[in-house]
Structures are given as C-alpha cells and as structure tokens.
C-alpha cells in the first residue's frame, strides 16, 4: 500500500516512466561505495574513481571492512555517500575562491558528521565549523568523528536550533541545514526508512523542517550563504520548503554551474537553485540540495555577552610544554576541567564565544591532562593533524598489532617500544598512543573507540 502511495507521489513529480525507473533503482541492490579523503592527513594515495563534484571523493569497487582499517580509525578518510558530497561543491561554488580565513560555518543538523567534516576541509584550518546535533547520543558520535577528523577547526555543540536563533543572531557566514526527513533517498539502504514512510510522516517532516530552517536563518548574517539539503525526493520537504523560505525571508539567488554530464536534475523554488540526485540517473543515493544568499545589509552582528565561561587559564610553564607538541603556529591554550585544550589563535575568539553560549562537547585539540607533574596525552592529540610527529617515540604497527590495538589488547611489539608513551602509526598515520611500563603496555585508546569485530 505504502509503495503505491509513494509511486503515485513520484509519478506526479517525475512522470510515470521516470518514476518507475527511480523505483526500480531503489529496489535494486546496486549500492555504490564511496569515501572522502582527509586533506589534513595525506597518508594514503586515494584509490578509486574520482567523484566528479568532490576532489577528495572516490568510488570504491567494493565495500571493504572499514572498521578494521587503521586509516579509517585514524580519520584519514570518512565513508560518505557520493551524492552527499555535493553540498561541499555548492559551498565552494558560492565562495568562488574567496578567502576562507575567519569564516564561520554552522551545520545545524550534523550527526554523524559527514557534511561537517567536509565543510571543515573546505574552510581549512583558519575557518570554523560549528557542528550541532540536538540528540545527545548522536552528538556524542559526532564528537568522536570530529576528534578522528583531527582538523582542529570543528566545535561540536548539542543544542536545540532555537538556541542559535536566540543566542547567536546573524553571527554565521554560512548556515547549512541537512534536515531530518522522510528518507526516501535511503530506501535501498535502509529498511527502517522504507518502514517509516507514510504521507503523514512526509507532512510532519516538512513542518519540522520549516521550524529548523527559520531558526537556522536567524543565525545567518545578511549576505551569508544558506544551504538546505535532505535525502528525500518529494517536493513537500524540498521545493515547497524552499519556496516558503523565499516568501518569508529576503533571499537572493546564488548562480551555480553544474555540468550536464553529472545528470543532476535541476529545479527552482522562489529564487533558489535546487538540485536532485536520483539513483537511476546519478551514481549515489538520493539527495536534494538548494542554495540561496541572505539579503539585507549590515553583515555580522557582534558576539553576544557571555552566559558562562567554561575555560580556565594555563600556567606559562605548562603552556611551554604543550606548545612543543604541536606543529609550528600560534595557539591559544585553555583548560576545561582538568584537561588542556589547544586552539589556533585565529579561531580562539570564535570558539570562546560559541562555548559561552552553547553546550559544547568537543572543540579544538584536547591535548591531555596533568596529574601533578605527570602529563597524560589524549587520544585527540594523537589523531590531531596539528601534532608534531617527533613529539613522542613512534612505532609502525604490524597488521596483527593494529588489530590488537583496536581491540584494546596487549601488543605483541611491547618489548620493542620505548618506555613510557609511544605514538602508534599505521602506514605512517598516527592511530593512537600506548604506554609501555616494563614488560606490558597500557592502551590509551578510549573505550568508545574500541572495535568488536
């Protein structure tokens, strides 16, 4: 029954022939596999066919076991569906080669972090991405993925979108809403998406999306870029919402060039340029994306008055010690509780402002903790692209020891490690720390990063 209702909706939207091709693709079992490499961790030569709209994206001929791969665990790449990478193409097109230093991006619905890590690579180490996820458990996964990515320019928050519209008004240069949706584009990947689909749920999603869009819009500065995306096909959650946005608020057109051979279907809604990825036309899952610029004058608003200050000061001698662990650059160091965090100086004021307003789960690089005079480095430092690789003795893991490390087991190479903390590498890429104490090792891999397969 549901299938028929869905088919009818798609027939209205695409015509019978195209709707049937779409449904056949959704019911087929061909699922492209793709990954996106981390430009801050260029440890492996990207393999596979390039994703046309993303220079870091590659299609793989088959699905390997990502969980057991050291480079995946080390954040050298992210497993991301190819269509999703298109939002990065939109952002780069809108920025048109402009400086990204000082840019503030908000990714309002960010978990598990696919698009946030992409934006992080685009804005580079001098731009900031605030990755927000309202559902706490999902926000924790997002924080783990931001840590793995190790770029140092992601702040993970867990707030309701309304907190942004009330506390960081017109503060961001770019706001992205990758909205929770009815998930029609995920039908071939997810049985849950198929089971939960109904016309009523589509209407419910569309109404919720408008609320999120309105809050997100309020936190965008005049002249800023707004990117809206869903992984669903129907017009109610897509074009109709963009039309509504253009009617309610002052929106301007952003021209996007998009080569015909990519087979992306283009539509318009108000002044918005809209893009549909249909699995029977493009190699990837379903995606809808749209872009507009916020009209009006005035630029960014000033940062609001602090509500709280979670940071403490770092003593000069501690600062000197931790500074030596990072690659050359200007840093600000601060404590949160017992832990020491490092931030690129250019990002610090913005990170502080977000931390004073929002519930922050992760930011910058968590360098470690001091117990009296003893310093314990954090997993975040090992996976940070800002770590100086000669700060610790290093050890290249064998395949067996990589498996043991990821399972948090005793390593076979113990007697060959230096006494104390060692930085473990897999194909040259840091995967974490371990501490040798005499004839045994104490793993420093946090429990939440342990694998079970």
Q: Give the footprint of ligand SAM on this chain (CB under 6 A).
A: 84, 109-115, 133-135, 138, 161, 178, 180, 208, 212
CB 385 within 8 A of CB 41: yes
Residue with structure tokens 């021209």?
Answer: 255
Distance from C-alpha of 111 to C-alpha of 148, rounded to nearest angstrom: 14
Distance from C-alpha of 154 to C-alpha of 341, rounded to nearest angstrom: 13
What is the CA angle 437-439-443, rounded to 5?
A: 55
The smaller minimum CB distance to ligand SAM, of residues 225 and 417, is found at: 225
Distance from C-alpha of 110 to C-alpha of 118, rounded to nearest angstrom: 11
Quote the least distance from Cβ 312 to ligand SAM, whole Å: 31
3-state percent helix, strand, coil for the chain, nearest multiple of 5? 35, 25, 40
207 in helix, strand or coil? Answer: helix
Quote the least distance from Cβ 176 to ligand SAM, whole Å: 8
The smaller minimum CB distance to ligand SAM, of residues 101 and 135, is found at: 135
Quote the least distance from Cβ 113 to ligand SAM, whole Å: 5
Distance from C-alpha of 111 to C-alpha of 133, rounded to nearest angstrom: 6
Residue with structure tokens 């942004």?
Answer: 164
What's the DSSP call for residue 390?
A: G
The smaller minimum CB distance to ligand SAM, of residues 180 and 223, is found at: 180
Q: Which token pair is 56?
A: 């870091």
> Cα Rg for the chain, rounded, in angstroms?
23
What's the DSSP call for residue 324?
A: T
The smaller minimum CB distance to ligand SAM, of residues 227 and 370, is found at: 227
Quote the least distance from Cβ 109 to ligand SAM, whole Å: 3
The smaller minimum CB distance to ligand SAM, of residues 138 and 408, is found at: 138
Distance from C-alpha of 62 to C-alpha of 147, rounded to nearest angstrom: 27
Neighbours of 18 (CB within 10 A): 16
Quote the least distance from Cβ 438 to ligand SAM, whole Å: 43
Candidates 378, 386, 346, 374; CA nearest to 362 is 378
Residue with structure tokens 């088959």?
Answer: 62
The smaller minimum CB distance to ligand SAM, of residues 178 and 285, is found at: 178
Quote the least distance from Cβ 403 to ligand SAM, whole Å: 27
Give strand pairing partners of 290: 228, 274
The smaller minimum CB distance to ligand SAM, of residues 180 and 296, is found at: 180
Quote the least distance from Cβ 331 to ligand SAM, whole Å: 29
373 in helix, strand or coil? Answer: coil
Catalytic residue list contains 413: no
CB 406 within 8 A of CB 380: no
CB-neighbour burial class of residue 319 (10 A; exposed 0-12, middle 13-18, buried 19+): middle
330 in helix, strand or coil? Answer: coil
The smaller minimum CB distance to ligand SAM, of residues 182 and 443, is found at: 182
SS (H, E, C) 140-164: HHHHHHHHHHCCCCEEEECCCHHHH
Residues 109, 231, 246, 274: which is the catalytic one? 231
The residues annotated as belonging to the active site are 231
């Amino acid at each position: 029954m549901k299938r028929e209702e869905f088919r009818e909706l798609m027939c209205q939207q695409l015509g019978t022939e195209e709707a049937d091709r779409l449904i056949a693709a959704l019911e087929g079992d061909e699922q492209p596999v793709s990954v996106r490499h981390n430009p801050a961790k260029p440890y492996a030569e990207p393999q596979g066919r390039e994703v046309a709209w993303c220079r870091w994206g590659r299609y793989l001929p088959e699905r390997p076991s990502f969980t057991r791969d050291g480079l995946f665990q080390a954040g050298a790449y992210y497993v991301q569906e190819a269509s999703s990478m298109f939002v990065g193409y939109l952002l780069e097109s809108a920025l048109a080669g402009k400086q990204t230093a000082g840019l503030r991006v908000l990714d309002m619905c960010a978990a598990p972090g696919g698009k946030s890590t992409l934006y992080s690579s685009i804005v580079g180490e001098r731009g900031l991405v605030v990755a927000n996820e309202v559902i706490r458990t999902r926000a924790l996964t997002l924080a783990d993925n931001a840590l793995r990515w190790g770029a140092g320019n992601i702040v993970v928050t867990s707030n309701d979108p309304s907190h942004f519209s009330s506390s960081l008004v017109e503060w961001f240069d770019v706001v992205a809403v990758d909205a929770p949706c009815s998930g029609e584009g995920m039908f071939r990947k997810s049985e849950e998406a198929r089971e939960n689909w109904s016309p009523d749920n589509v209407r419910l999603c569309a109404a919720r999306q408008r609320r999120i869009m309105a809050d997100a819009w309020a936190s965008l500065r005049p002249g800023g870029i707004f990117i809206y995306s869903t992984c669903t096909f129907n017009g109610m959650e897509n074009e109709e919402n963009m039309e509504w946005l253009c009617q309610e608020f002052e929106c301007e057109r952003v021209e996007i060039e998009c080569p015909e051979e990519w087979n992306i279907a283009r539509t318009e809604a108000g002044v918005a340029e809209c893009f549909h990825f249909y699995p029977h036309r493009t190699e990837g899952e379903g995606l809808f994306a749209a872009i507009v610029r916020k009209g009006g004058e005035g630029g960014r608003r000033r940062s609001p008055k602090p509500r709280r200050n979670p940071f403490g000061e770092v003593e000069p001698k501690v600062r000197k010690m931790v500074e030596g662990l990072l690659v050359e650059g200007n840093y600000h160091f601060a404590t949160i509780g017992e832990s020491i965090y490092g931030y690129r100086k250019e990002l610090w004021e913005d990170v502080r402002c977000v931390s004073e307003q929002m519930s922050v789960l992760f930011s910058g690089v968590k360098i470690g903790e001091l117990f009296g005079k003893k310093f314990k480095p954090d997993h975040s430092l090992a996976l940070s692209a800002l770590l100086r690789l000669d700060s610790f003795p290093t050890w290249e893991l064998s395949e067996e020891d990589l498996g043991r490390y990821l399972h948090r087991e005793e390593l076979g190479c113990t007697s060959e490690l230096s006494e104390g903390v060692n930085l473990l590498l897999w194909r040259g890429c840091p995967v974490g720390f371990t501490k040798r104490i005499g004839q045994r090792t104490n793993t420093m891999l946090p429990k939440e990063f342990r694998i079970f397969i």
